[in-house]
Structure 1
Amino acid sequence: MSILSRAWTAKNPPTVPKTAHPVRFGILGAAEIGPSGIILPARTCADAEVVVVGARNLEKAQKYAKKHGIARAVQGYDAVLEDPEVDAVYNPLPNGLHYEWTMKALQAGKHVLLEKPATNTAAESERIFAFAKEKNLVVLEAFHYQFHPATQKLKAIVDSGELGSVQKITAHLCAPGGFVKPDDIRFQYALGGGATMDVGCYVTSISRFLAGREPTSVLSATPTLQDAKKEPKIDRRMEFTYLFPPAEGEKEGPTAQCVGDLGLPNWGPLSLVPSMPELYVTVQCAMGEASINNFVMPSFYHAISVRGPKGSRTVRAYVWGEEGKAKGWKGEDWWTTYRYQLEAFVDKLKGREPQHWISEESTVGNMRAVGMVYEKSGLGARPESEFQL
């Protein structure tokens, strides 16, 4: 399948008949990420169905529901949580509202598919999972990229040992200038904004994923502020380096040099030429290196480049290999990262073994690492929610 075919099918997926008891989702807010994150993936999943969307403004919810083929629209997030037909909620609200509305959803007896970053602080994430255990409910942080075969293929190559021990990871996730507008919620401190919370949480996550361990310290963290006068604690860009502990047999642990930017400056004469996005990860090992050029959205295009003792090669993985197929792992080459993620979430709720999972420890660990960067940078952690059950 070509890149155009994959992109078209992902945006216009086939609608499949639902099983007798699909997981019924309610969406909190009329978020732009909703179609990619849950609505389109659910159309192709027999065990998932989006049944309602709630927004603070009823008219907005109704327009959203009509546009995206959702049966019902309600006013307010509470109305979604009170709906007896809703089994699980998709929470794509601003970062600073994740904790409050996830806790409320759990209180209402709903499972939660929670957009990343899970919360503003590691302590908030710990409280969410403690409450979920108490209520016997499932919470999954939506680091969708990890569920795709391409990401897991890169991880398998690194873990195989063919390139030797990991020495340095370089991870960049940078958007061109103008992609995120100055008034975007990503630049509001009160809502848990900042580049390190947004694109930075991705490069933090994949660095930890590929290193297979938690960082012990942040060696450096250099912020570029979005608007020092308006929001003195909001980073538009952050360059930071993690230090990981050595594994058994290693003298030194690897480092991860990360860059997250919500607005790369233009270049060229008069700065009129937009910068290209940076979406890559490189893993340098003792005997070679492996890299992927689009770790966030590999379903549209990607290439895994490997250079080592066995020579150089380029690998692509839109679906599972023979081993995965033998294990019954599902997938089509046009499935997006979000579609693979939904399959795992539904499997978990149905009592089946998911192909991959983002554990409580991983979510808390990622928030702790993000907090370490903010502390090192001098900007300080994002504000904890004042909400209490």
Structure 2
Amino acid sequence: MASAIGLIQRLYKAFNPPVVPKAASTTSAPTSPLKFGILGAATIGPPALIIPARSHPEVIVYAVAARTLEKAQVYAKKWGIEKAYEGYQKLLDDPQVDVVYNALPNALHYEWTMKALKAGKHVLNEKPSADTAAETRAMFDLAEEKGLVLLDAYHYRFHPALKRAKAIIDSGEIGAIQNITAELMLPKGLFGDDDIRYDYELGGGALMDLGCYTMSCIQYMASSDPSSVLSTSHVAFTPKGVSENYVPKVDRRMEATLSFPKDVTATIRCDLAMPHTFGFIPKIPVVRVKVEGLVGNVEVFNFVSPTLYHSITVKIKGGASRTEKVYVNKDEEGKAKGEAWWMTYRYQLEAFVDKLRGREPETWLDKEDSVATMEWIEKVYEKSGLGSRPSKI
């Protein structure tokens, strides 16, 4: 009963967070709240930034830009955003915008992140970074050159649950890592045939949309980049009504096994539309990562959205097992840092603002994290025969 009540309380506060007063400039603290502008009136905007910003005293979601003024205005009115712009460049030209959240389709990440950086804006860039590793490196190189902060929104990495699982692995409790499995698979019916996730020109594909999480996760758990792609298998997406000569370029499902240093192997599985059981019963989403060691294993259920519900299960061979749940970070004195209802996006926003303000963030993903993830996504696509998404450079 207590667990159910806790779940309800977390969910309510996560989606209805307390609205905190925004920090005002003073003589002793002359820093005004950071004004964020959103590129794209996307559905990811509210959970990823708008709602988390309500409980952050240093963040104001100030502007949104869309392809049409009407779309931007409707979005702005719905979410209480002051400025609405037709066209992304107009938002970048606004001197009051401090930070840009790039929520555009994958294929537009490179172009508009580069333009935002050139305009002197810090950027929170939706995952995956871009269509290729070369584009990703170019974006981070420009950010470094201009002294700006660029972060790819791998929000799951900022939640303390994953940090706790990694600490268990690093402690040696399960012994040397032997194998890692990361899975993120969704049931059929969530996305239509015309969804951008199936559009090759927009950087679509299961590996791009879901697999970037699994690739990033196995690299994090292994504390290393892969050495090679051992094997791949995929199910291609084929839209209805195409000719028999149609050549699929987008993966609906992707599985890959990779080798890591020290004889470690890892398998990733991602699926945008798992077929229904018996043709009509939707499957339950699969969202987990399991790390098998020489003497035991650690499994994290729901590593992508642990605030909703998660478990960290530790099993030692021939010994006891236990389950942990972690919702807040704690400092050396045991003081909580964060709230149990904070979603991964709220933890991410906290770290991002800390970085912008010159404070040490609890967790961070740097340039090499992002570049390596895209590099190995490309290598999996190469091995599969589908090839990388279209490069802009």
SS at match of 2:214: helix
8 Å CA contact 1:282, 1:290 repeated in 2: yes
8 Å CA contact 1:219, 1:241 repeated in 2: yes
Letter of the aligned partner of 1:284 in structure 2? E
Residue in structure 2 matched with residue 12 of structure 1 by the alignment: 16
8 Å CA contact 2:331, 2:337 repeated in 1: no
8 Å CA contact 2:123, 2:150 repeated in 1: yes
Letter of the aligned partner of 1:6 in structure 2? R
TM-score, structure 2 as length reference: 0.93
Residue in structure 1 matched with residue 275 of structure 2 by the alignment: 265
Asked if residue 132 in structure 1 is aligned to residue 132 in structure 2, the reply is: no
8 Å CA contact 1:173, 1:203 repeated in 2: yes
State the alpha-carbon separation in 2 of the partners of residues 385 and 322 from structure 1: 43
SS at match of 2:370: helix
5 Å matches for 1:27-66? 27-66=38-77
8 Å CA contact 1:97, 1:385 repeated in 2: no
State the alpha-carbon separation in 2 of the partners of residues 322 and 97 from structure 1: 39
Letter of the aligned partner of 2:11 in structure 1? A
State the alpha-carbon separation in 2 of the partners of residues 332 and 283 from structure 1: 27
Residue in structure 2 matched with residue 256 of structure 1 by the alignment: 266
Percent identity reads 52
SS at match of 2:249: strand
Q: Deviations over 1:11-36 (max 9, x none)?
A: 11111011121111000010000001
State the alpha-carbon separation in 2 of the partners of residues 184 and 350 from structure 1: 37
Displacement over 6 Å in runs of 4+? none
SS at match of 2:297: strand
TM-superposed deviation, 1:322? 5.3
TM-superposed deviation, 1:321? 3.6
Letter of the aligned partner of 2:231 in structure 1? S
Give ranges in structure 2 of 5+ residues lacking alignment: 25-31
Of residues 301, 308, 312, the one that matches 2:316 is 308
State the alpha-carbon separation in 2 of the partners of residues 2 and 156 from structure 1: 25
Residue in structure 2 matched with residue 161 of structure 1 by the alignment: 172
Residue in structure 2 matched with residue 114 of structure 1 by the alignment: 125
5 Å matches for 1:1-389? 2-20=6-24, 21-227=32-238, 229=242, 232-246=248-262, 253-268=263-278, 271-308=279-316, 311-321=320-330, 323=332, 325-326=334-335, 330-385=337-392
Letter of the aligned partner of 2:378 in structure 1? G
Give ranges in structure 1 of 5+ residues lacking alignment: 247-252
8 Å CA contact 1:222, 1:238 repeated in 2: yes
Letter of the aligned partner of 1:114 in structure 2? N
TM-superposed deviation, 1:231? 6.1
State the alpha-carbon separation in 2 of the partners of residues 72 and 109 from structure 1: 19
Letter of the aligned partner of 2:17 in structure 1? P
8 Å CA contact 1:188, 1:231 repeated in 2: no
TM-score, structure 1 as length reference: 0.94
Residue in structure 2 matched with residue 250 of structure 1 by the alignment: none
Tell me how large the CA RMSD over aligned residues is.
Answer: 1.3
8 Å CA contact 2:129, 2:152 repeated in 1: yes
SS at match of 1:109: coil
8 Å CA contact 2:100, 2:116 repeated in 1: yes
TM-superposed deviation, 1:234? 0.3
8 Å CA contact 1:24, 1:85 repeated in 2: yes
Q: Deviations over 1:266-310 (max 9, x none)?
A: 012xx1101110001111100000001100000110000001166
Residue-pair matches, total: 376
SS at match of 2:180: strand
- In structure 2, relative to structure 1, the CA distance for the partners of 1:231 and 1:81 (3 Å cut) is farther
